[in-house]
Copies of this chain bind each other. A is one copy, B any other.
Amino acid sequence: MTASGAAVQVRALVFDVFGTVVDWRSSVVAEVRALGWPVEPAAFADAWRAGYVPAMQAVRDGRLPWMHIDALHRRILDGLLAERGLAPPEAEVAELNRVWHRLAPWPDSVTGLQRLKQRFPVCSLSNGNVSLLLDMARHARLPWDTIFSAELFGHYKPDPEVYLGAARLLDLPPEQVLMVAAHPSDLRAAAACGLKTAYVPRPLERGPGGAMEPWTPGEFDVVAEDFVALAAALGA
Contacts and interface: CB of A to CB of B under 8 A. Distances in A.
A152 interface: yes
B121 A138 contact: yes
Given A129-B171, A171-B70, A121 B145 contact: no
Q: How many of chain A's residues touch chain B, expressed as a range?
A: 10 to 19
Contacts of A137: 145-146
B169 A146 contact: no
A145 B70 CA distance: 19
B151 A130 contact: no
B121 A170 contact: no
What is the copy number of this chain in the assembly?
Answer: 2
Nearest to A151: B169
A9 interface: no
Contacts of A138: 121, 145
User: What 3 A-B pairs have minimum CB-CB distances, sorted nearest first?
Assistant: A131-B171, A146-B147, A130-B169
Contacts of A147: 145-147
Contact of A121 (B134, B146, B152, B172): B134
Contacts of A144: 145-146
